[in-house]
Amino acid sequence: MSTVRPPTPPASYPLRRTLWPCVAALLGVVLVAEFTSLDLWVQDACYDFAAGQWRVDENASLPKALFYTGPKALLIAFGLACIALLVGPAGWRRRFGLAHRRRELATVIICLGLGPYLIGLAKANTNMFCPYELTRYGGDVPYVKLFERFPEHLRPERRGVCFPAGHASGGFALLALSGLAATRRGRLLGLAVGLAVGSWMGIYQMLKGAHYLSHTLITVLLVWLLFLACRAVLERAWRKAPDSP
């Protein structure tokens, strides 16, 4: 009597099944930020109240080069290299083991460009202020959470443009590298690279008072959801990749 084997799940299945855990984590971070003082506790540790300054000076050239301008330049260069691989000769892709991965390579490129752009749009509309702007840290704006309103007599004339974390979104967009891999080890390596680079950029922003912890956590989760969405759309629109045999 023959045994019927269940169908082998597609290569993208291990990534697809992270959708609902990611949504749950996003909701959890929002609730923690809204109903606890975790953001302020973490931010207090990033601020020297005695000296009245942040742990990292935003004008210091070396930290700025290592954590801000340097990573941004490298991400731009990496994105351009990915575009060259996508549109260039097939031999280029074979050299990097991407002979039949144009769709996945396109996903990386889209996430690198679209992630920071969408996060930037959100920043322009959420009206949240950065830690360094708070009266708690020497600024002129009261602390108000995402779903709270400013007191009528303390409402600032300008709008806040600090949520989510825009700078770190470029680093977290590298999470899309996990989609290039066909093995579990490769997917984990892609995740590790994205988390490491995004955290490198995001922690710097926290230490100089530009973002709260929740801003960075929400950004990484939003970028991951964007990656899953881009991957799903391209899988439907690109059923048979142009360079597949």
Domain assignments of the chain as residue spans, ordered by start: 14-43+74-147+158-237
What tokens were used for 114? 């679209």
Least confident of 1-5, 139-143, 237-241: 1-5
d(CA 245, CA 238): 14
d(CA 209, CA 230): 32
Collapse the DSSP code of 121 into the 3-class scheme (helix H, G, I; strand E, B; otherwise coil) and give the result. helix
As a whole number, the mean pLDDT across the chain is 90
More confident call, 7 vs 179 = 179
Average pLDDT over residues 53-61: 94
Q: For the segment 166-203, what is each residue's pLDDT rounded down to a tens digit?
A: 999 999 999 999 999 888 899 999 999 999 999 999 99
pLDDT at 245 over 60: no
15 alpha carbon, distance to own chain's centre: 16
Record the pTM: 0.90
User: Phi, psi (5° rounding) for residue 143?
Assistant: -80, 120
Any residues with CB less than 8 A from the CB of 49 and at least 6 apart, and which? none
d(CA 16, CA 181): 14
pLDDT at 10 over 70: no
Q: CA torsion, points 188, 189, 195, 201, in degrees to nearest 10?
A: 180
d(CA 20, CA 129): 29
d(CA 234, CA 242): 12
